[in-house]
Chains A and B, each alone.
Chain A
Amino acid sequence: MTSVIEVAAPSAVGRTTNKMSIVMFSGTADKFIPLGVLAQAGAAMGMEVEIFVTGFALRAFTKEHPQLPFPAEFAEMAPALAQGMEASHVASWDAMMRQAKDLGAKVHVCSMMCGVMGLTLDDFDAELVDDMVGAATFVQSAEGSETFFI
Protein backbone atom coordinates (compact mmCIF):
# COMPACT_ATOMS: atom_id res chain seq x y z
CA MET A 1 0.00 0.00 0.00
CA THR A 2 1.32 3.43 -0.95
CA SER A 3 0.29 6.69 0.69
CA VAL A 4 -0.52 9.80 -1.33
CA ILE A 5 2.74 11.62 -0.56
CA GLU A 6 4.73 8.79 -2.11
CA VAL A 7 3.07 9.05 -5.52
CA ALA A 8 6.28 10.09 -7.30
CA ALA A 9 8.59 7.83 -5.28
CA PRO A 10 11.11 5.86 -7.40
CA SER A 11 9.72 2.61 -6.02
CA ALA A 12 6.52 3.23 -7.95
CA VAL A 13 8.39 3.62 -11.25
CA GLY A 14 8.86 0.62 -13.44
CA ARG A 15 5.87 -1.32 -12.19
CA THR A 16 4.08 -3.05 -15.00
CA THR A 17 0.66 -3.31 -13.38
CA ASN A 18 -2.11 -1.76 -15.42
CA LYS A 19 -4.48 -1.21 -12.56
CA MET A 20 -4.83 1.52 -9.95
CA SER A 21 -6.83 1.00 -6.78
CA ILE A 22 -7.79 3.83 -4.45
CA VAL A 23 -9.30 3.56 -0.97
CA MET A 24 -11.00 6.92 -0.38
CA PHE A 25 -11.50 7.32 3.36
CA SER A 26 -11.04 11.01 4.23
CA GLY A 27 -13.87 13.51 4.18
CA THR A 28 -12.10 16.86 3.87
CA ALA A 29 -11.90 19.00 0.74
CA ASP A 30 -8.09 18.86 0.49
CA LYS A 31 -8.06 15.07 0.15
CA PHE A 32 -10.55 15.10 -2.72
CA ILE A 33 -8.09 16.95 -4.97
CA PRO A 34 -5.56 14.06 -5.15
CA LEU A 35 -8.49 11.65 -5.50
CA GLY A 36 -9.71 13.44 -8.63
CA VAL A 37 -6.24 13.94 -10.10
CA LEU A 38 -5.10 10.34 -9.52
CA ALA A 39 -8.33 8.82 -10.80
CA GLN A 40 -8.43 10.98 -13.93
CA ALA A 41 -4.70 10.61 -14.66
CA GLY A 42 -4.82 6.83 -14.17
CA ALA A 43 -7.84 6.49 -16.42
CA ALA A 44 -6.22 8.74 -19.07
CA MET A 45 -3.14 6.48 -18.96
CA GLY A 46 -5.37 3.62 -20.00
CA MET A 47 -5.28 2.01 -16.57
CA GLU A 48 -8.15 0.19 -14.96
CA VAL A 49 -9.15 2.41 -12.01
CA GLU A 50 -11.07 1.03 -9.03
CA ILE A 51 -12.14 3.33 -6.20
CA PHE A 52 -13.48 2.05 -2.89
CA VAL A 53 -15.27 4.80 -0.96
CA THR A 54 -15.63 4.37 2.78
CA GLY A 55 -15.64 6.22 6.10
CA PHE A 56 -15.84 10.00 6.08
CA ALA A 57 -15.60 10.16 2.27
CA LEU A 58 -19.02 8.58 1.70
CA ARG A 59 -21.14 11.69 2.25
CA ALA A 60 -19.42 13.56 -0.62
CA PHE A 61 -20.75 10.97 -3.08
CA THR A 62 -24.40 11.33 -2.02
CA LYS A 63 -27.10 13.19 -3.96
CA GLU A 64 -26.88 15.95 -1.33
CA HIS A 65 -23.43 17.00 -2.62
CA PRO A 66 -22.49 18.55 0.75
CA GLN A 67 -19.92 21.33 0.95
CA LEU A 68 -16.72 19.62 2.11
CA PRO A 69 -14.93 21.10 5.14
CA PHE A 70 -11.25 22.02 5.12
CA PRO A 71 -9.15 20.54 7.94
CA ALA A 72 -8.52 23.08 10.71
CA GLU A 73 -4.74 23.20 10.16
CA PHE A 74 -5.21 24.36 6.54
CA ALA A 75 -8.31 26.52 7.07
CA GLU A 76 -6.26 29.72 6.86
CA MET A 77 -4.87 28.69 3.47
CA ALA A 78 -8.22 27.60 2.05
CA PRO A 79 -9.36 30.91 0.45
CA ALA A 80 -6.00 31.51 -1.27
CA LEU A 81 -5.91 27.90 -2.42
CA ALA A 82 -9.43 28.11 -3.86
CA GLN A 83 -8.50 31.33 -5.65
CA GLY A 84 -5.29 29.81 -7.05
CA MET A 85 -7.11 26.72 -8.25
CA GLU A 86 -9.69 28.81 -10.03
CA ALA A 87 -6.97 30.95 -11.66
CA SER A 88 -5.15 27.80 -12.81
CA HIS A 89 -8.41 26.29 -14.11
CA VAL A 90 -8.04 23.20 -11.91
CA ALA A 91 -11.21 21.16 -12.28
CA SER A 92 -13.39 20.36 -9.24
CA TRP A 93 -12.94 16.88 -7.73
CA ASP A 94 -16.33 15.70 -8.95
CA ALA A 95 -15.68 16.98 -12.50
CA MET A 96 -12.42 14.99 -12.46
CA MET A 97 -14.27 11.97 -11.11
CA ARG A 98 -16.91 12.19 -13.86
CA GLN A 99 -14.12 12.42 -16.44
CA ALA A 100 -12.35 9.42 -14.90
CA LYS A 101 -15.60 7.45 -14.94
CA ASP A 102 -16.17 8.42 -18.56
CA LEU A 103 -12.76 6.84 -19.25
CA GLY A 104 -13.78 3.66 -17.42
CA ALA A 105 -13.07 4.21 -13.70
CA LYS A 106 -15.34 2.32 -11.31
CA VAL A 107 -16.56 3.61 -7.93
CA HIS A 108 -17.74 1.25 -5.20
CA VAL A 109 -19.19 2.28 -1.85
CA CYS A 110 -18.48 0.29 1.32
CA SER A 111 -21.48 -1.74 2.50
CA MET A 112 -20.39 -1.79 6.14
CA MET A 113 -19.93 1.99 6.51
CA CYS A 114 -23.12 2.65 4.53
CA GLY A 115 -24.91 0.51 7.12
CA VAL A 116 -23.29 2.42 9.97
CA MET A 117 -24.26 5.77 8.45
CA GLY A 118 -27.75 4.66 7.40
CA LEU A 119 -27.05 5.12 3.67
CA THR A 120 -28.46 2.97 0.88
CA LEU A 121 -27.35 2.86 -2.75
CA ASP A 122 -30.32 5.14 -3.58
CA ASP A 123 -28.77 7.91 -1.46
CA PHE A 124 -25.76 8.18 -3.81
CA ASP A 125 -25.34 10.18 -7.00
CA ALA A 126 -25.67 7.48 -9.66
CA GLU A 127 -23.28 9.41 -11.91
CA LEU A 128 -20.52 9.06 -9.32
CA VAL A 129 -21.18 5.62 -7.81
CA ASP A 130 -21.46 2.25 -9.59
CA ASP A 131 -22.35 -0.15 -6.81
CA MET A 132 -22.07 -1.20 -3.17
CA VAL A 133 -19.59 -3.91 -2.24
CA GLY A 134 -17.96 -5.48 0.80
CA ALA A 135 -14.28 -5.09 1.68
CA ALA A 136 -13.42 -8.56 0.43
CA THR A 137 -14.59 -7.71 -3.08
CA PHE A 138 -12.31 -4.69 -3.14
CA VAL A 139 -9.33 -6.55 -1.66
CA GLN A 140 -9.75 -9.25 -4.27
CA SER A 141 -10.08 -6.75 -7.12
CA ALA A 142 -7.09 -4.69 -5.89
CA GLU A 143 -4.79 -7.71 -5.69
CA GLY A 144 -1.52 -7.06 -7.50
CA SER A 145 -2.38 -3.45 -8.33
CA GLU A 146 -0.92 -0.17 -7.14
CA THR A 147 -3.12 0.80 -4.18
CA PHE A 148 -3.48 4.28 -2.70
CA PHE A 149 -5.09 5.08 0.62
CA ILE A 150 -6.40 8.64 0.81
Chain B
Amino acid sequence: MEQTATTTLVDSRGSACPGPITDLALAYRRSKVGDVIELWATDPGVKPDVRAWAAKTGNQVMSIEDHDGKIVVVVQITKR
Protein backbone atom coordinates (compact mmCIF):
# COMPACT_ATOMS: atom_id res chain seq x y z
CA MET B 1 0.00 0.00 0.00
CA GLU B 2 1.37 3.38 -0.99
CA GLN B 3 1.63 6.13 1.59
CA THR B 4 0.35 9.59 0.74
CA ALA B 5 2.97 12.27 0.10
CA THR B 6 3.03 14.95 2.77
CA THR B 7 4.22 18.54 3.00
CA THR B 8 6.20 19.44 6.13
CA LEU B 9 6.78 22.99 7.26
CA VAL B 10 10.13 23.60 8.97
CA ASP B 11 10.46 27.00 10.64
CA SER B 12 14.15 27.88 11.11
CA ARG B 13 13.69 31.63 11.31
CA GLY B 14 16.20 33.21 13.70
CA SER B 15 18.48 30.20 13.55
CA ALA B 16 22.08 30.89 12.44
CA CYS B 17 24.05 28.80 9.95
CA PRO B 18 24.28 25.77 9.95
CA GLY B 19 20.95 25.60 11.87
CA PRO B 20 18.50 25.82 8.92
CA ILE B 21 20.28 23.20 6.82
CA THR B 22 20.42 20.94 9.89
CA ASP B 23 16.68 21.38 10.47
CA LEU B 24 16.19 20.46 6.79
CA ALA B 25 18.40 17.37 7.23
CA LEU B 26 16.39 16.31 10.31
CA ALA B 27 13.09 16.68 8.40
CA TYR B 28 14.65 14.78 5.48
CA ARG B 29 15.41 11.84 7.79
CA ARG B 30 11.69 11.52 8.55
CA SER B 31 10.58 12.00 4.93
CA LYS B 32 9.86 9.67 2.03
CA VAL B 33 10.14 10.05 -1.75
CA GLY B 34 7.45 12.37 -3.05
CA ASP B 35 7.24 14.44 0.13
CA VAL B 36 7.72 18.19 0.08
CA ILE B 37 9.60 20.14 2.76
CA GLU B 38 9.00 23.87 3.05
CA LEU B 39 11.79 25.57 4.97
CA TRP B 40 11.52 29.07 6.42
CA ALA B 41 14.76 30.82 7.32
CA THR B 42 16.28 34.23 7.88
CA ASP B 43 19.99 33.37 7.54
CA PRO B 44 20.89 34.40 3.94
CA GLY B 45 23.37 31.51 3.68
CA VAL B 46 20.42 29.16 3.35
CA LYS B 47 19.97 30.01 -0.36
CA PRO B 48 23.28 28.60 -1.65
CA ASP B 49 23.33 26.01 1.16
CA VAL B 50 20.02 24.47 0.18
CA ARG B 51 21.21 24.13 -3.44
CA ALA B 52 24.43 22.48 -2.21
CA TRP B 53 22.47 20.17 0.09
CA ALA B 54 20.08 19.15 -2.70
CA ALA B 55 22.97 18.48 -5.10
CA LYS B 56 24.75 16.42 -2.45
CA THR B 57 21.74 14.38 -1.37
CA GLY B 58 20.09 14.05 -4.81
CA ASN B 59 16.93 16.00 -4.02
CA GLN B 60 15.26 18.87 -5.87
CA VAL B 61 14.91 22.55 -4.99
CA MET B 62 11.54 23.67 -6.38
CA SER B 63 11.73 27.33 -5.39
CA ILE B 64 13.57 29.85 -3.24
CA GLU B 65 11.67 33.05 -2.48
CA ASP B 66 12.40 36.10 -0.40
CA HIS B 67 9.48 37.69 1.47
CA ASP B 68 10.80 40.76 3.31
CA GLY B 69 13.67 38.86 4.90
CA LYS B 70 11.77 35.59 5.34
CA ILE B 71 13.34 33.13 2.93
CA VAL B 72 10.96 30.38 1.81
CA VAL B 73 12.54 27.28 0.29
CA VAL B 74 10.55 24.43 -1.18
CA VAL B 75 12.32 21.09 -1.59
CA GLN B 76 10.91 17.99 -3.26
CA ILE B 77 12.24 14.73 -1.85
CA THR B 78 13.25 12.63 -4.85
CA LYS B 79 15.84 10.40 -3.22
CA ARG B 80 16.00 8.57 0.07
Question: Which single member of B15, B16, B25 contacts A44 (CB below 8 Å)?
Answer: B25
Is B69 close to A, CB under 8 A?
no
Encoded as 1 (CB less than 8 Å from any A CB) or 0, chain B from 46 to 71 comes to 00000011001100000000000000
Secondary structure type dominating chain B contacts: helix
Interface size class of A (residues with CB under 8 A): 10 to 19
**Structural contact, A43 and B25, CB atoms closer than 8 A:** yes
Which chain B residue has the least Cβ–Cβ distance from A87?
B16
Q: Size of chain B's interface in residues, with CB distance under 8 A? A: 15
Name the residue among A41, A44, A91 with the largest chain B CB count within 10 angstroms: A44
In the complex, chain A residues whose CB is within 8 Å of the CB of B26? 103
**Structural contact, A44 and B24, CB atoms closer than 8 A:** yes
Assembly CA distance A3 to B19 (angstroms): 23
Question: Which single member of A41, A90, A91 contacts B21 (CB below 8 Å)?
Answer: A41
Taking A41-B22, A103-B22 as known contacts, 14 extra A-B pairs with beta carbons closer than 8 A to each other, sorted by chain A number, are A37-B18, A40-B18, A43-B22, A43-B25, A44-B18, A44-B21, A44-B24, A44-B53, A45-B57, A46-B25, A88-B16, A89-B14, A89-B15, A89-B19
CB proximity of A146 to chain B, nearest CB, Å:
13
Is A28 close to B, CB under 8 A?
no
In the complex, chain B residues whose CB is within 8 Å of the CB of A46? 25, 56-57
**Structural contact, B14 and A41, CB atoms closer than 8 A:** no
Is A99 close to B, CB under 8 A?
yes
Is B5 close to A, CB under 8 A?
no
Question: Which single member of B15, B19, B25 contacts A45 (CB below 8 Å)?
Answer: B25
Encoded as 1 (CB less than 8 Å from any B CB) or 0, chain A from 64 to 97 comes to 0000000000000000000000001111000010
| 14 residue pairs bridging A and B, Cβ less than 8 Å apart | A40-B22, A41-B21, A43-B22, A44-B22, A45-B21, A45-B56, A45-B57, A46-B25, A47-B56, A89-B15, A89-B16, A99-B22, A103-B22, A103-B26
Is B17 close to A, CB under 8 A?
yes
CB proximity of B54 to chain A, nearest CB, Å:
10
